[in-house]
Structure 1
Amino acid sequence: MFDRIMFTFIDLFAGIGGFRIGLEQLGGQCVFSSEIDKHAAATYERNFGEKPAGDITRIHPDEVPRHDVLCGGFPCQPFSVSGKQRGFEDARGTLFFEVMRLVTAKRPRAVFLENVANYARHQNGDTLKRTVAMLESEGYRVSHAILNASNFGVPQARRRLYIVGVRSDVESQAFEFPESSNSDKKVAIKDILISNAEACEQIIDRIDIRFDDTKTQSATSRPLQIGTINKGGQGERIYSIEGHGITLSAHGGGAAAKTGAYLVDGVVRRLHPIECRRMMGFPEWFSIDSRRGQAYKQFGNAVVVPVIEAIGKRMLESADLAWKQAEWKFDDSSKARNLETAS
């Protein structure tokens, strides 16, 4: 265990805790969490021993402890290309104003937010400009970038917008986003798989499966489509395990909905929730919802832990906050989480 807390943070729109894992691995202590979805909140409580507060619109600032970092992946559906893109006109889109309500009241040293990549293009970029302007009006220097999880040690092509604001009066150095995790280790879908026997319920056995024999299956850091199911629409494309996976999604249809289909040892199948956990960079100790549909939804809505950790290091340094690398261990005898300082 750490002998002292390096910094404190609150976890808004917490989902199943991706932000929390990433920042706790840097020595942070979560002092407050909020999540309105009862199923995600149950998964969060099961893993962290803490039941998140519910509807953020009903939370008074006095109920939220003071903290160094405010983080959260506020609802993306109003800005997603798969939704109606109503943005701030959507009730969920207005939840960003709840973030600003707490920023104004609590004045954290740093703000760390995540959303879909389309947020940057929504309404010709005006939505993002408005977001940045609101943070700047509260005295924050704001940076934003679209990063791909494929560059941070997980085999998933997942592009997301990250926004970091550091309060100008505490800024010790200019913030710059990392371009990658600086790891030489190359990963592919094949590196995170369980056996087909363990994933037998994910097998897709249909007569309308077709393969493109012209596609080579050499190692690549992007998804490599090698076949189709039915007409090859969304959720009906087959990919090689030599490449990276497509973006995990909380929604969508097709035979391989939410994960895509992969050719694994001669068998076409969806990914198992355990494999989704690994694609999102969650540790092996993380307890997954036993209901398959909920597990897929929760990982599809989650943040990629290694990306949060990589950005977090830069953010903390910019906000003049100390951090210390740690690693999660799972103690099978006590069934408890332990945080051990890395050597």
Structure 2
Amino acid sequence: MNVCGLFAGIGGLELGLHRAGHRTTALCEIEPAAQNILEKRFPDIELHSDVRDLVRLPQGTELLAGGFPCQDLSQAGQTRGLAGKESGLVNELFRLLRTNDVPNVLLENVSFILALGKGQAMRHITASLEELGYRWAYRIVDTRAFGLPQRRQRLFLVASRVLEPSNVVMRGNFPDDEPVNWRGRACGFYWTEGLRGLGWAVGGVPTLKGGSTIGIPSAPAIWFPDGMIGTPHICDAELLQGFDADWTAPAEAVSRSSSRWKLVGNAVSVPVAEWIGRGLAGCAGGIEFPIRSFDLGKSWPKAAFGGPNTPAMAAEISKFPEFNTAPDIAAFLRYPVKPLSIKATEGFLRRLKSGSLRYPPEFLTALEVHVDRCRDDTRLAVA
């Protein structure tokens, strides 16, 4: 298909679609650092800045794709929903669909969109698509299913006037076997949390994020079996999203190097986009799965489908459309790990001790030992 990519970010959705045989003919992205990456990684493809100024799509566009902004939809954000000025930009996509004849649509966003406002955002999105004559289907997909040790659950919605969307997203159904036995495994966690959650991930890292509760884009931390606690290199973060190492390096020409973490955290995992792309190319059909009705006025299910004059139905299907065993995060990492700073560790420890979260007691001990080691190393360096 000929693809126009809105809210393109660093091109994860488009790169995956390219790998599945599709062709991007135009991109739209407003962030200057992301624009610089797109110009370098997708040369000769028309690049637009502000979606609000876009009027006409390239002739022959067969798929309009976009991971529209999640700032107003995620738990880490303001949860203003589609009334927010960022996530509300999805309405620009509907505007373009009303004035351009595009047979297929692909949307990506955070899984929390299903619960926000008791399903209000999903009701708006699916109703807007149905008004335009599209059938739709969505599914929460976990990046771990594709052999990457990052627990990242994102919603992928396909809408079409010519294809059956459920045949695209309801392919494959494997059980989620996330490990729980942490002994002898490296464990990832959010060092910026400690009160409301940990993001605890045995053998991997929690979702790479564009922001954090302390207001800065930051890497998750990893507790290694030898007791070391550190954060991965940005190049490993890119690999965890399915990009080549240094994919976001062009951003440093126009922005601080730390901005790369936000760009990677907001990106679409490339192998998931490729899996969607193969389904759009008709490489496989859907599978049989149990269905049930659900209350549209409450949190929506993890997978569902519907369309004009067709009731929305929930699909009982897993978040694993494929099953590729991911290596332990310690074996996956290729670049030097940076020890978590004393200040960061002490702040996390204070929050952890004042909260009521559950965690292995050995974890608390490891954090305290890490602080002592860092202090000793500092004294030696000064001496």
TM-score, scaled to structure 1: 0.71
| Letter of the structure 1 residue corresponding to residue 207 of structure 2 | T
Distance 1:271 1:19 in 2: 23
CA-based RMSD of the aligned residues comes to 3.4
Distance 2:276 2:212 in 1: 29
Q: Is the 8 A contact 2:152 2:206 kept in 1?
A: yes
1:55 to 36, 39, 50: 50
> What's the offset of the Cα at 1:276?
0.4
Counterpart for residue 260 of structure 1: 220
> What's the offset of the Cα at 1:147?
1.4
Instruction: Identify the structure with the greater helix proportion.
Output: 2
Query: Residue deviations 1:115-171, cap 9 Å, x none?
Result: 11111111101210121111111111100111111112211011111111011xx22
Counterpart for residue 314 of structure 1: 279
Distance 1:298 1:157 in 2: 18
How many residue pairs end up in the alignment? 277
Distance 1:35 1:231 in 2: 30
1:152 to 146, 152, 168: 146
Q: Is the 8 A contact 1:172 1:317 kept in 2?
A: no
1:171 to 160, 163, 168: 163
Counterpart for residue 203 of structure 1: none
Counterpart for residue 232 of structure 2: 271
Query: Residue deviations 1:147-202, cap 9 Å, x none?
Result: 111112211011111111011xx2268524256698xxx999xxxxxxxxxxxxxx
| Letter of the structure 1 residue corresponding to residue 239 of structure 2 | R
Distance 2:32 2:156 in 1: 26
Query: Residue deviations 1:62-98, cap 9 Å, x none?
Result: x543311110000101111111111122112321111
Gaps of at least 5 residues in structure 1 are 1-6, 189-214, 321-343
Q: Secondary structure at the match of 2:223?
A: strand
Gaps of at least 5 residues in structure 2 are 286-383
Q: Say yes or no: does 1:92 pair with 2:92.
A: no
Distance 2:234 2:78 in 1: 28
Q: Say yes or no: does 1:135 pair with 2:129.
A: yes
Q: Is the 8 A contact 1:259 1:270 kept in 2?
A: yes
Question: Which one has the largest radius of gyration?
Answer: 2
> What's the offset of the Cα at 1:287?
4.7
Distance 1:142 1:112 in 2: 10
Distance 1:272 1:180, change over 3 A: farther
> What's the offset of the Cα at 1:252?
1.5
> What's the offset of the Cα at 1:239?
6.8
| Letter of the structure 2 residue corresponding to residue 293 of structure 1 | S
Query: Residue deviations 1:18-77, cap 9 Å, x none?
Result: 01100111121111100011111111112112462111101112x543311110000101
| Letter of the structure 1 residue corresponding to residue 237 of structure 2 | C
Q: Is the 8 A contact 1:234 1:253 kept in 2?
A: no
Distance 1:319 1:100 in 2: 28
Q: Say yes or no: does 1:293 pair with 2:293.
A: no
> What's the offset of the Cα at 1:267?
3.3
Q: Say yes or no: does 1:76 pair with 2:70.
A: yes
TM-score, scaled to structure 2: 0.64
